[in-house]
Chain A
Amino acid sequence: MKVIFFLFFIFLSLGAFSSENSHKVMPKHNWSFDGITGIFDKAAIQRGYKVYREVCSGCHSMRLLYFRDLIDIGFSEAQVKVIASDYTVLDGPNNEGEMFERSARPADRFVNPYINDNEARANNNGAYPPDLSVITKARKNGVDYIYNLLLGYVEPPKDVNLGQGMYYNEWMPGNQIAMPSPLSDGVVDYDDGTDNNIEQLSEDVVYFLKWAAEPEMEVRKNLGIKVILFFIILGFVVYLGKNRLWRDVS
């Protein structure tokens, strides 16, 4: 019997080992939202939004977000109105039956850089730039994956043949990515004087994407602590009562 158990665990550990072996282990970055009391760093999210707006949004949509959501990360209503008004959306039909363009309002969704998916592909060498609304939930290792991917453009090994218009990235599955390195030192100027090196830009934009994917995170964790405390206290009281009740059972 023991031999069977032993063999079984050898098998399991081999299985775990072989699956880890083919990929490098994703380095873990320290985030302000880590852990059960982790919260969002609003300044970082605002900086990250600036990175998204000035760099990523050229190709990547975030169709699940509304401009009004930006109030969550510390912008005032007036500021959000100004941000939204920079974009143009197609509305209508009006009373004459015509579609018309107007500037966006806080109640509008983030404006898609392309009219449709086909245009997105046509402009990106056939590759579709994925929507970033829930990207940190839609990739394994979420935030760490995005962070490392943004910093993962290294010189390809000699034996790698890159496809037409492809770039080498050590964290992309298959190592070939159609997106050229989007960030570099100083590509976005921060208003608050934060150092704008590539690591900082990458970190900030991941903060923004994490918030975009899970805007409820702070409320969720806060409520979670209360609910768990409720169960612990109730459980403790009921446990004492149960022991008292069962004391006489023999």
Chain B
Amino acid sequence: MSGSKESKQYKNSVLNWIEFRLPIISYFEKEYGDYPMPKNCNYFWSFGALSMIILVTMIVSGIFLAMNYTPHTDMAFDSVERIMRDVNYGWLLRYIHLNGAAFFFIIVYIHMLRGMYYGSYKYPRELNWILGCVIYVLMTATAFLGYTLPWGQMSYWGATVITNLFSVVPIVGEGLKTWLLGDYTVSNATLNRFFALHYVLPFVIFGVVGLHVAAVHVHGSNNPAGIDIKSKGDTVKFFPYMLLKDTVALCVFGVIISAVIFFGPNIMAEVDNYIPADPLVTPAHIVPNWYLAPFYAILRAIPSKMGGVLAMGAAIGILFVLPWLDTSKTRSCNYRPMYKWFMMLFFINFFALGYVGLKPAEGLYLLIARVGLVYYFAFFLLITPFVGWIEKPKKLPASISDAYLGGNKEFPLPLAEKEIN
């Protein structure tokens, strides 16, 4: 009667029954219960969990919004306003979805910048980083498609500007654009397909997130010291140690996002999107959602349309090869005295690009965008490889336990042994 394989035994007979047929119980126990996390991980490591939570929030709120939304150019704007006015707590659903998208990007940007600062993309987590970049690209596509749906002025003109970029493709450009739009201009056919794609892409993201999490669990999470786990004493179990820590982070995040959702729900929205789309009236400045603004700044910094599109594509594409551009073996910037400052400057530069991306492309803004563009690419193509060669990293702590007791700082003697006794 016994099965061909030994399965793990649980007290609960239902769990045993499932486990014997599909070892999903032990899988979750291994990956989310006993999963060893380096104990020196700081709160930046909570942003992965936070982005997962917000992805689920976006999908759930989005499904309920879709139940009340009408993807037709004559009715889309009014159906969104009907959600805001006549659907029970529809305003809450929409404001969660609208601001959730912005916070999703904030969280993911912090998650990515954390990965860059602490060198999480390096061996053996390169594929994990690439999957993360795939998620990011899918997110930008989803956000762009979703921005179109309320069919306000920015929706319409944003869609027009972005789809126009495809016409730079040699020979087939115009045809490609028409094929994407389903018409010669942004129209009802466009809105319909954008809605269909906006509905399906989050589930694709969800799948890639599954791979992303599975991949990081193979070699374990990186940590602020950027050194490998050497013994069991270097780690704590995910449950309950990291779960509680992530819950603290979630509550702080909850306060911040609630403050925006309930007290300033439109502060990150463009006012023009409360004006119904009008193909005959072009807004004074067409701006994307602010979280895509750094790349929009890069697009406009180059005077030729073709060059701008290539630069924008390259700016995102270059992220994929970052693991091979970095020549340093030291992961964490805490132990890289030179690169650390270039990294900080990269963060500031990214914000500056975002700022000018929302301003008209003229005068000083254009100058900042061009300087920012040069630094963006110089950082990846010149600074990252060369600093790795010439920099002398600081001495790494002997183990994660040492780093934990020393507060992730450089310290001279093996303090850990003394403390334990």
Q: Which residues of A contact B (CB under 8 A)?
A: 1, 4-5, 8, 11-12, 14-15, 18-19, 36, 64, 69, 130, 133-134, 137-140, 142, 173, 215-216, 220-221, 223-225, 227-228, 230-232, 234-235, 238-239, 241-242, 245-246, 249-250
Q: 9 closest A-B pairs (Cβ-Cβ)?
A: A224-B262, A235-B251, A138-B274, A231-B254, A242-B244, A137-B274, A216-B91, A231-B255, A134-B274
Question: Which B residues, 262 to 286, have Cβ-Cβ distances below 8 Å to chain A?
Answer: 262-263, 265-266, 271-272, 274-275, 284
B263 and A235 within 8 A (CB): no
Chain B interface residue bracket vs A: 35 or more
Docked pose: A216 CA to B103 CA in angstroms: 22
Contacts of A216 in B (CB 8 A): 84-85, 91
Docked pose: A36 CA to B247 CA in angstroms: 26
> For the complex, is B181 an interface residue (Cβ under 8 Å from A)?
no
B297 CB, nearest partner CB in chain A, Å: 12
Docked pose: A80 CA to B175 CA in angstroms: 55
A112 CB, nearest partner CB in chain B, Å: 14
Contacts of A15 in B (CB 8 A): 355-356, 359, 364-365, 368
Contacts of A250 in B (CB 8 A): 401, 404-405, 419-420
Docked pose: A241 CA to B419 CA in angstroms: 24
A12 and B352 within 8 A (CB): yes
A232 and B255 within 8 A (CB): yes
B405 and A64 within 8 A (CB): no
B235 CB, nearest partner CB in chain A, Å: 10
Contacts of A11 in B (CB 8 A): 352, 364, 368
With A8-B352, A15-B356 in contact, do A245 and B364 touch (Cβ < 8 Å)? no
**Interface flags, B311-348, vs A, CB<8A=1, else 0:** 00000000000000000000000000000010001001
A19 and B359 within 8 A (CB): yes
**Interface flags, B94-110, vs A, CB<8A=1, else 0:** 01000000000000000
B136 CB, nearest partner CB in chain A, Å: 26
- Name the contact of A231 in the complex, choosing from B251, B348, B419 (C-beta under 8 A): B251
A227 and B352 within 8 A (CB): no
With A137-B274, A250-B405 in contact, do A4 and B262 touch (Cβ < 8 Å)? no
A238 and B241 within 8 A (CB): no
B91 and A220 within 8 A (CB): yes
B268 CB, nearest partner CB in chain A, Å: 13
Docked pose: A64 CA to B251 CA in angstroms: 37
Q: A15-B368, A235-B252, A235-B254 are in contact. List 6 more A-B contacts (CB 8 A).
A: A220-B262, A224-B262, A228-B258, A231-B258, A241-B244, A250-B419
Contacts of B341 in A (CB 8 A): 1
> For the complex, is B19 an interface residue (Cβ under 8 Å from A)?
no
- Name the contact of B364 in the complex, choosing from A14, A173, A241 (C-beta under 8 A): A14
Docked pose: A96 CA to B91 CA in angstroms: 41
Q: Which residues of B contact A (CB under 8 A)?
A: 39, 78, 81, 84-85, 91-92, 95, 236, 240-241, 244-245, 247-248, 251-252, 254-255, 258-259, 261-263, 265-266, 271-272, 274-275, 284, 341, 345, 348, 352, 355-356, 359, 363-365, 368, 401, 404-405, 419-420
Contacts of B275 in A (CB 8 A): 130, 138
B262 and A139 within 8 A (CB): no
A8 and B348 within 8 A (CB): yes
Docked pose: A203 CA to B328 CA in angstroms: 63
Docked pose: A225 CA to B39 CA in angstroms: 35
Contacts of B359 in A (CB 8 A): 15, 19
B255 and A245 within 8 A (CB): no
Contacts of A238 in B (CB 8 A): 244, 247-248, 251
B405 and A224 within 8 A (CB): no
Docked pose: A140 CA to B285 CA in angstroms: 13
Docked pose: A238 CA to B247 CA in angstroms: 7
Contacts of B401 in A (CB 8 A): 250
Q: Which residue of B lies closest to A138 (CB)?
A: B274
Q: Which residue of A lies closest to B348 (CB)?
A: A8
User: Which one of B247, B272, B341, B401 has the greatest number of beta carbons of chain A within 10 Å?
Assistant: B247
B20 CB, nearest partner CB in chain A, Å: 33
A140 and B271 within 8 A (CB): yes
Contacts of A69 in B (CB 8 A): 85
Q: Which residue of B lies closest to A220 (CB)?
A: B262
B241 and A249 within 8 A (CB): yes
Q: Which residue of A lies closest to B342 (CB)?
A: A1
Q: Which residue of B lies closest to A117 (CB)?
A: B278
A222 CB, nearest partner CB in chain B, Å: 9
Contacts of B419 in A (CB 8 A): 250
- Name the contact of B241 in the complex, choosing from A130, A231, A245 (C-beta under 8 A): A245
Q: Which residue of A lies closest to B273 (CB)?
A: A138
Contacts of A223 in B (CB 8 A): 92, 262
Docked pose: A228 CA to B419 CA in angstroms: 40
Contacts of A232 in B (CB 8 A): 251, 255
